[in-house]
């Protein structure tokens, strides 16, 4: 009897865990929580990222431009693609990402396509749905990053390949 109950409990835990697997809403919450633990987001200075010089986005004391530890940890722990964008003029530029270009390089310096996700984060809103990221379809979520004054200064992204 005990073995049966233990086995049923193990299967329930496994089923609950797999319900969250490949869930962009849960995964973006994890990414945002990890960034929030580092500190309050802010823009401070500029940084060459890819072939562009863009605003440097910091969480507390840590600059995220060209820093990949947080996005790589998301990939390692969940399998998700993850990106931090900085708002630069009317664009959102990838400054930290595990998303690769067709050439196999990190997609830093590339911009968020001006589609539904762009429209949402530009207005300070989240977006979840099907998207194309550098030519690959994903189930994804995007959240705006706001500074202490509530101004949108960037966005986070997570996605799972379809």
> Which of 8-17, 85-94, 104-113 has the highest average model confidence (pLDDT)?
85-94
- What structural domains and CATH numbers belong to the chain? 2-161 (3.30.450.20)
Rounded to 5°, angle at Cα 74 from 103 and 22: 90
Once rounded to an integer, what is the mean pLDDT over residues 38-49?
97
Tens of pLDDT, residue by residue over 59-89, are 999 999 999 999 999 999 999 999 999 999 9
- pLDDT of 21 strictly over 80: no
Residue 126: the pLDDT is 98
Do 87 and 56 contact (CB within 8 A), yes or no?
Answer: no
Separation between Cα atoms, residue 153 and residue 90, nearest integer Å:
11
The pTM assigned to this predicted structure is 0.86
- pLDDT of 14 strictly over 70: no
Instruction: Tell me the pLDDT band of 31, cut-offs 50, 70 and 90.
Output: very high
Chain-wide mean pLDDT for the chain? 88
Tens of pLDDT, residue by residue over 139-157, are 999 999 999 999 999 999 9
- pLDDT of 9 strictly over 80: no
Of the candidates 17, 18, 24, 16, the one whose C-alpha atom is nearest the C-alpha of residue 160 is 24
């Amino acid at each position: 009897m005990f073995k049966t109950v233990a086995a049923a409990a193990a299967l329930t835990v496994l089923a609950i865990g797999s319900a969250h697997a490949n869930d962009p809403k849960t995964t973006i919450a994890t990414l945002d929580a990890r960034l929030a633990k580092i500190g309050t987001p802010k823009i401070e200075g500029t940084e060459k990222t890819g072939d562009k010089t863009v605003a440097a986005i910091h969480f507390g004391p840590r600059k995220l431009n060209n820093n990949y530890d947080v996005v790589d940890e998301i990939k390692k722990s969940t399998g998700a693609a993850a990106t931090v964008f900085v708002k630069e003029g009317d664009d959102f530029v990838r400054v930290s990402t595990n998303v690769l270009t067709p050439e196999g390089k990190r997609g830093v310096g590339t911009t968020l396509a001006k589609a539904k996700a762009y429209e949402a984060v530009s207005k300070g809103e989240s977006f979840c749905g099907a998207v194309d990221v550098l030519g690959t379809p994903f189930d994804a979520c995007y959240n705006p990053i706001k500074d202490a004054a509530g101004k949108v200064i960037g966005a986070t992204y997570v996605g799972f390949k379809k």
